[in-house]
């Protein structure tokens, strides 16, 4: 039997799930909605003898809910996507620090909060994509090169308010400084083919059809198309060239899905045990494959493995959230909407 699966909008259901509490339970608030995650939770129940109550919802809504529930929250663990959201949750007082030799040993230092409030469990790379028929524009090998005037009228992007773009710019601010980030954002805006619109998949389609020449996208969107049963979706990737940027320098920007033990977790020890379980080799494979992501432990598998290996940026993921406010201001100054 799968773990108890509840809707985040139902307070009555959550109360019912946590009233008969014998201590052998962990209440997980998750922004991930994949059947492979359910299989993971079922295995944990079998191995640990601890029941998993799963409450699903959108990231920001779950964060707000835990804040509002305060010390009465049944949540033991919050799982969400993007380091920026993990940082927001930490800033809102959602998490408590965790000391675990297992987590420290298995999760690279740059993919976990320096104070132990949250831990990366899977990762995705933000890559440059280009129209394969046109070829890679001359001189493009870094994110910074997208501001080159020679790319004028060729770039398509999603909105500046998107968390992925905020995190990318947060990394550029950290590496190059706010002034250089201003110049980069303004340069990219000057090279726009159209106003920002759509999600990453929309950018991939626009580049594949030749409407745009260049864009950026998270690798898991590419993985979804590669693994699709729809030949038309697989054909989108066939029309793309894919570049892992900054391989001659700091490496490609990566972001994470991750989790942290909540501040008032009623079953703290169970939550830590569950986190440690999620870093195991088998669990890592399932957790990452659920969204075509890379595991934080071990090699890539599934469709994205075909994209090859790459060097990743080792800046701590906490920086991506800490620079969020500056990123918003930078995009606003550049007129990137």
> Quick one: 15 and 113 in the same domain?
yes
> Quick one: 237 and 260 in the same domain?
no
128's enclosing H/E stretch is strand 119-131
Tally of residues, the chain: 337
Tokens (6 digits) for 298: 């071990």
> Quick one: 200 and 184 in the same domain?
yes
Name which residue leads in pLDDT, 103 or 15: 103
pLDDT in tens, 204-213: 999 999 999 9
3-state secondary structure of 131: strand
The tally of domains found in the chain comes to 2
Does residue 12 carry a pLDDT above 60?
no
3-state secondary structure of 129: strand
Domain span including residue 91: 4-123+256-299
3-state secondary structure of 114: coil
Does residue 9 carry a pLDDT above 70?
no
107 in any annotated domain:
yes
112 in any annotated domain:
yes
> Quick one: 182 and 294 in the same domain?
no
pLDDT in tens, 182-201: 999 999 999 999 999 999 99
Confidence of residue 1 (pLDDT cuts 50, 70, 90): very low
> Quick one: 119 and 129 in the same domain?
no
Q: What is the dihedral of CA 52, 273, 303, 201, to 10 degrees?
A: 70
207 in any annotated domain:
yes
> Quick one: 213 and 266 in the same domain?
no
167's enclosing H/E stretch is helix 163-176
306 in any annotated domain:
no
For residues 103-109, average pLDDT: 97
> Quick one: 178 and 225 in the same domain?
yes
Distance of CA 93 to the CA centre of its chain: 20
Read off the CATH number of the domain in which 218 is found.
3.40.190.10
Instruction: Kindly report the pTM of this predicted structure.
Output: 0.91
> Quick one: 217 and 323 in the same domain?
yes
309 in any annotated domain:
no
Rounded Cα distance, 219 and 234, in Å: 14
Is the Cα torsion angle 283, 55, 123, 304 positive or negative in sign?
Answer: positive
> Quick one: 200 and 326 in the same domain?
yes
For residues 285-289, average pLDDT: 92
> Quick one: 129 and 119 in the same domain?
no
> Quick one: 77 and 212 in the same domain?
no
* Triad 89, 91, 92: Cα angle to 5°: 65
> Quick one: 152 and 173 in the same domain?
yes
Q: Which of 238, 19, 220 is closest to 124 using CA atoms?
A: 220
From the CB of residue 135, how many other CB atoms can be counted at a distance below 10 Å? 10
202 in any annotated domain:
yes
Ramachandran bin of 246, using left for φ above 0, alpha for ψ from -120 to 50, beta for the remaining angles? left
89 in any annotated domain:
yes
- CA-to-CA separations, 290 to 122, 210, 295, in angstroms, rounded: 10, 30, 11
pLDDT in tens, 127-169: 999 999 999 999 999 999 999 999 999 999 999 999 999 999 9
């Amino acid at each position: 039997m799968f773990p108890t699966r509840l809707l985040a909008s139902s307070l009555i259901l959550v109360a019912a799930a946590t009233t008969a509490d014998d201590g052998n339970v962990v209440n997980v608030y998750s922004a991930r909605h994949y059947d492979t995650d359910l299989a993971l939770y079922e295995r944990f129940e079998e191995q640990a003898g601890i029941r998993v109550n799963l409450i699903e919802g959108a990231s920001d809504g779950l964060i707000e809910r835990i804040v509002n529930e305060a010390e009465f929250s049944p949540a033991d663990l919050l799982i969400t996507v993007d380091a920026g959201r993990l940082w927001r949750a930490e800033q809102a007082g959602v998490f408590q620090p965790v000391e675990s030799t297992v987590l420290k040993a298995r999760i690279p230092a740059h993919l976990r909060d320096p104070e132990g409030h949250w831990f990366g469990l899977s990762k995705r790379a933000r890559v440059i994509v280009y129209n394969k028929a046109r070829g890679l524009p001359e001189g493009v090998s870094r994110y910074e090169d997208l501001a080159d005037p020679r790319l004028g009228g060729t770039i398509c992007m999603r909105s500046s308010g998107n968390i992925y773009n905020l995190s990318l710019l947060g990394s550029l601010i950290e590496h190059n400084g706010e002034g250089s980030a201003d110049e980069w954002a303004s340069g990219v805006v000057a090279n726009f083919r159209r106003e920002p619109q759509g999600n990453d998949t929309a950018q991939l389609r626009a580049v594949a059809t030749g409407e745009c020449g260049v864009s950026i996208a998270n690798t898991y969107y590419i993985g979804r198309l590669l693994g699709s049963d729809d030949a038309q979706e697989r054909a989108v990737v066939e029309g793309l060239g894919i570049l892992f940027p900054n391989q001659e320098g700091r490496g490609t920007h990566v972001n994470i899905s991750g989790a942290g033990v909540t501040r008032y977790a009623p079953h703290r020890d169970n939550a830590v045990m569950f986190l440690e379980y999620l870093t195991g080799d088998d669990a890592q494979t399932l957790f990452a494959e659920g969204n075509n992501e890379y595991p934080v432990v071990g090699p890539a598998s599934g469709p994205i493995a075909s994209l090859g290996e790459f060097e990743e940026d080792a800046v701590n993921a906490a920086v991506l959230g800490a620079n969020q406010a500056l990123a918003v201001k930078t995009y606003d100054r550049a007129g990137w909407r």
